[in-house]
Amino acid sequence: MTAYQDLEARFRRLYALQEAAGVLHWDMSTVMPEGGGGARSEQLAVLEVVCHETSTDGELGDLFAAAEAEAGALDPWAQANLREMRREWRHATALDAGLVEALAKAAMACEMTWRKARPDNDFAAVLPALKEVLGLTREAAEAKADALGLSPYDALLDQYEPGGRIDRIAPVFDDLAAFLPGFLGEVMERQAAAGAPLAPEGPFPEAAQEALGRRLMAAVGFDFDHGRLDRSLHPFCGGVPDDVRITTRYDEADFAKALMGVLHETGHAMYERGLPANWRLQPVGQARGMALHESQSLLVEMQVCRGPAFAGFMAPLAAEAFGGSGPAWQADNLLRLANRVEPGFIRVDADEVTYPAHVILRTRLERAMIAGDLAPGDLPGAWNEAMVELLGLTPPDDRLGCLQDIHWYDGAWGYFPTYTLGAMTAAQLYAAALAAVPEIPEAIGKGDFAPLMAWLKENVHAKGSLRSAEELLTEATGRPLDPGVFKAHLRRRYLD
């Protein structure tokens, strides 16, 4: 066995363990009884430690040196895999096992507390656990910053967006923050002049919402032999490429929330299913960062499923599912509803005009907390002030404010910027797909996503982590990320 083959075998074992942990996380979020939280925290912490020990084994340094000396004999995929292995190794070796275990246990405990604190609107109940998670996260960020030669926040961001740097992202976000209020005002004025769309009459039973969601998932291309749809407190896509688990939450007064959530998570699932099968359980076979992952969910939900072609396909199915009839159920009215812009408190329910403001808010606050400039106890007040600044709203309580997202409570710091990076990437990829395959809208109007998914699989999904995100986007669209494409999309959809 060559040094490279030895590394492949070790990472195959590591990734199998990580996939097992992923399924345990899904179980915890969907069907695990509340009393199982303590045991599950212990199980996941042990898996974290075992994975850390595997990825920091003392022999790995010599194996990397030997494999890199032989790299010329490897094909491009294996060379890229070796590069990604080393990147993950550098992240892992920056932390000692004790910190990994402590952070894993703290995050699990905090998440379980948050699951009760959020519906109870009780920030005080989760604050001690949040303080512990933040303290350990800052310790990990400092350790990784020293090892990687990055700032602490960049060290966290790099876990989710390899190569992502806040000094490049912050100016883009600041530009959006300056652009959005004026643009939002124009859109609101335009919508007011047009009058409100008609609201279909409910209630909309959960069972009917789920059935419609499954039908549309199948149209997008979701394979139910390799995946599931379930309920959870916070919608997500998890599992593994051959067993993708997506979840949503239902509101019987508004079927669109769950439906768009399902379509969003289906976009994530299609990316996972389309990753290169020959490189399963290897770093190069994984998704190329969370910005690209978010681009796939937002491309499906925002670019496609809030467009006229999809509305024409979906409208009769929705009317059939809920027994609706009349003007409220016509495609043009449902399209107006889907693209209704209105500032709101909840990020996951936000329209695509106000959504970036939610992400900018969270990015700024988590940067301040990591830097030590914002204490967790001051988070509710800081959150509310930022909501007024960016969206002109004051949350009536913490349930609609700083308790709404799971990310900080389960330890995912540095993740939030990827959402808006993903929205911009989605606009650019979809524009390129339409230029390459002009018949995509006509096919979608018939419920046929195959032409779009074929283009995405060839240009994004099947590439895995062979290239950097910037290289992949440039190859697919002819240029690196251009925020102007996203702004042009917004103007075209809401003002033209």
- List residues with catalytic annotation: 265
CB-based contact 259:209 (threshold 8 Å): yes
Extract long-range pairs of 318-321: CB within 8 Å, 24+ residues apart: 318/200, 318/212, 318/255, 318/259, 321/208, 321/209, 321/211, 321/212, 321/215
Distance of CA 190 to the CA centre of its chain: 31
**Strand pairing category for 237-240 and 243-248:** antiparallel
Residues facing residue 230 across a β-bridge: 247
The burial class, CB within 10 Å (0-12 / 13-18 / 19+), for 434 is: middle
Taking 3-state DSSP, the helix, strand and coil percentages for the chain, each rounded to the nearest 5, stand at 70, 5, 25
Residues facing residue 216 across a β-bridge: none
How far is CA 20 from each of CA 27, 34, 48, 243, 478, rounded to the nearest angstrom?
11, 20, 11, 11, 38
CB-based contact 100:49 (threshold 8 Å): yes
CB count, 10 Å around CB of 364?
A: 20
CB-based contact 449:142 (threshold 8 Å): no
CA neighbor of 161 nearest in space, from 243, 269, 246, 87: 87
